Chains A and B, each alone.
Chain A
Amino acid sequence: MRILLVEDDQGLAEALQQSLIREGFVVDHVSRGKLALTALAVPSHDMVILDLGLPDLDGLLVLKEIRAKKNDLPVIILTARDSIDSKVKGLDYGADDYLAKPFDMQELLARLRVIERRLGTATSSLITIDRVSLDTKAHKVYLLECEGAIEQPDINEVHFSKKEFMVLKVLMENAGRIQSREQIESKLYQWGEEVLSNAVEVHIHKLRKNLPDKFIQNVRGVGYIINHPQH
C-alpha cells in the first residue's frame, strides 16, 4: 500500500517512514500542504497520513480540499492540538481516523490495517485474534481448536448470521477499543439493517455462546471489547 505522509517535522517524518517501510508500506513524504495537494492531483496513493500543524496550509484545509474533489481517499490525522475539539472537527471534515501526538506506533499500525482491509489491498483479509480468525471478504469465522497439534491445528468454521458477523467484525477490527452499544448499533444502521432495541445484546449473546470464554468482554455500562492477546 502506498501512503502519502504529510508532516513538516523532519525528525518525526523520518522515524515514521522508517517504521512504515519496515511494516511493508511504500511511503512518500512531503512537508507542505500545497505539495501534498499537488502530489494527490495524480491518483497514485492509497491513503494519507496528515499532520494538522503545517507551516503553509492548515491540515484541516488540506483535508477539506481533498474531500471537495470528491476524493474518498482514506485520511488519518495526526495532531498535537487538543484532543476533543480538533477530533470532532477533523472527523466532521471527513477524516477516517485520528491520532493525538504523542501516539503509539502500534496504534497507528492497527488503524492502518483497518483501512487496508477496507480497501481490499491487504495481503490477507484475515483478522486473527487469539484463537479466532475472521475473513472479512469471505464473511466466515474460524475457530482454532486447542486440542489439535500445534503444527496442524484443527480449524473449524463457526456459522453466524449476517448481523452477528457484522457485530463481531466491528469488535475485531477495533480490538483493544471499547465499542459502546450505540456505536455498534450505528454500524448496523450504516449497513441498512433494522435494529431492534436489544438487538446488540442478543447478537453478543449468540456470539459468546460459540466463541471462547471471555473472548468478548463486557464492560458494564460502557460497552463491549475484544482485547489484543498481548495485553
Chain B
Amino acid sequence: MSIRRYLVLTLVAVLTLITFIAAIQGYKASMSRAEKLFEQQLVDFAHIVKGLHQTFDTKDQQFVALNEQTSFAFQVWQGERLVSQSANTPTKPIMSLHKSPTHFGEVNFSGQRWRAIYYTDNNQLNAFKGKGNSLVIIVAQPLKKQFLLAQEVILAAVTPMIIAIVLLSLLIYGIITQGLKPLHKLTSALAKKRSNDFTPLELNVDNSELSRVVTTLNQLLARLNLAFERERHFAADAAHELKTPLSVLKINVHNLSQELNEQGHNHPENLIKPLTVSVDRMGHVIDQILHLNRTNPEQINQSKQPIKLQTLLQAVIGDLYQDIANKQQTITLTSEELLLMGDELSLHLMLSNLISNANKYTPQQGEIKVSTKYIPNGNNQRDSQNKTAQIAIIIEDSGTGIAEEEYNRVYDRFYRVGGDQHDSSVLGCGLGLTIVKHIVDIHGGNIVLSRSTLLGGLRVEVLFEQNLDQNLPLDNSKLNSPVSCEEKTDNKDERD
C-alpha cells in the first residue's frame, strides 16, 4: 500500500468515526433538551389556559369549543364537568383525573399518541377542597409533531458536519498528494533508471529530508560507478599482464624448436610438445577466467544490439576450424540469417565454448551438427498471451555425451564430467559451461542438455526469446526465403 493511500484512508476513516460519535452524542443531548423544552412549552400553555379561564367568568359553566386546528389540544375540567376543550379532543377526560398538582404522561386519543400535562391549581384545590370542583387543565401535543420538530432542529445542526467530512476528505487527499509529490518524483526517477546507469539523479526537491536522501543516493551512485570502472579496468589490465608474458613464452618455444631443428636434433618435438601443450593450457585457463569475469550483466545489457546469428556462427566455426580439421571431424551448419538481440562478444564466447566442447569430446572423424531454428509462436508457458517468438541454437555431436545425472553439475565452476577421472589429455579447466550458462542467463535464455537422437552424443539446445522490435530493418520472416535456395546449392555442391 502506498504511503499516500494509507494516510488518506486512515485519516478519512478516523475523521468520519469521530465526527459520527460526536454527532450521535449531540443528537442524544439535543433530543433530551428538546423534550424538556416541549414540556416547558406544555406547562406554559397550561398556565395560559388557566389564566384565560380565570379571566373569563368561571361560574357560568360554559362550554368553549375551539374549532381551529392547532397542534395543541386542551381540556379544562371543573370537578367532573368539562368547562372548555379544543375541537380535537373527545368529551371524555383525555387523562385520568389525579389529585396530584402536575403530572406528565403519554395518552392516546383521536388516533394519535400525545404527550400531555395534567395541571391542577394547588391554591384552588385547597380553597375548594371537599367541594369537588377543583380546576383541572389538561394540555397535550402530538408526539409525532414533537419528534419531527426536534429532528428537524438536530438535522439542521448535523448536516454541515457531514458536508464538512466530504470537504475535509478532499482536502486531506489534496494536501497529502501535494506533500508526497517530491517522494513520488524520486520514486519515478529511480524506477526509470537502468541497472547499469550510474549517472547522478537530477532532481530538485526543496524539502530537507528528501534532498538529503537524494544527495546520499547520488554519492552512492558515484561510488558504485567508480567501483564498477575499477573492476572493469582490473579485468582488462589482468588480461594484458597475463597474455603478453604468455605470448613471449609461446614465441620462445617456437624459437627453441626451430633452433633444435637447425642443430639437427633428433625428434625435437618430443622435447617441445609437452611445453606447447602446457603453454596452450595456461593460455586457455587465463582466457576462461577472464571471460567469466568479463561477462557481467551490466556490461552485457549495455551492449545489446541485433546480432546476425548465421554470420556469428560462421565466424565461430571459422575460428575453431583448425581444431576440427585436426581431428578430421565433419562440421555442418544449417542456419538461416536470424537476428538475435544480444551482446556479440558474449554470444561469440558462448558459441565458441559450446562448439569447442563438441570438438573436444567427439572422437576422430566424428560429426558435429550446428543448426538454428526460428520458432514463430514460442510454446512459452510463461507468457502465452504475448506469444514471443523464440530462436533455438542446437549443437549436436557424435561423442560419448554426458550422463543424465551429471546434467546439473556440469555448470559448476571447475567441475569436469567424471570428476577426477576426467580425461586429462583434453584441454580444459571446467569453466566452459559455467560461462555458457552465465551468458545464457544474462540474455534471459534457456539451455537444455539431452542425448542427440541423430548423432548419439550430446545435444545442447540454447533457446532465446526473440525480443526484437518490428521497426528494425531486418525481419526474420523475410529472411527465410533466400536460405532454402542456399541450402539447395549447398547440397548440389556436396554431390559434385
Contact = CB atoms under 8 A, between A and B. Distances in A.
B244 A84 contact: no
Nearest to B323: A231
B334 A221 contact: yes
B110 interface: no
- Interface SS of chain B: helix, strand, loop or mixed? helix
Interface size classification for chain A: 35 or more
Interface string A8-21: 01011001101100
Contact of B244 (A12, A83, A178): A12
Interface string A200-216: 01001100110000000
Interface in B311-360: 311, 313-314, 317-318, 321-322, 325-326, 331-335, 344-345, 348
Q: Interface size for chain B: under 10, 10 to 19, 20 to 34, or 35 or more residues? A: 35 or more
Given A9-B244, A53-B240, A221 B332 contact: yes
Given A84-B348, A201-B489, A208-B496, A11 B321 contact: no
Nearest to A84: B345
A148 interface: no
Nearest to B370: A221
Interface string A174-186: 0011101010000
B345 A16 contact: no
A12 B322 contact: no
Given A16-B251, A80-B243, A231 B331 contact: no
B239 A80 contact: yes
Contacts of B279: 102
Interface in A81-120: 81-85, 101-106
B490 A19 contact: no
B247 A12 contact: yes
A80 to B, nearest CB: 4
A78 B335 CA distance: 33
Contacts of B314: 178, 180, 221-223
Contacts of A16: 251
A18 B283 CA distance: 22
A106 B494 CA distance: 31
B53 interface: no
Contacts of A176: 322
A218 B251 CA distance: 32
A223 B318 contact: yes
Interface stretch (B15-23, B252-260, B456-464, B465-473): B252-260
25 contacts: A11-B245, A12-B248, A22-B255, A78-B247, A81-B239, A82-B236, A82-B294, A82-B345, A102-B246, A102-B247, A102-B249, A102-B279, A104-B254, A178-B317, A180-B311, A180-B318, A201-B493, A208-B496, A218-B490, A218-B493, A219-B333, A221-B310, A221-B370, A222-B314, A222-B318
Given A80-B240, A221-B314, A222-B331, 11 more contacts: A19-B254, A101-B244, A101-B246, A102-B247, A198-B489, A209-B496, A218-B493, A218-B494, A219-B321, A223-B314, A231-B326
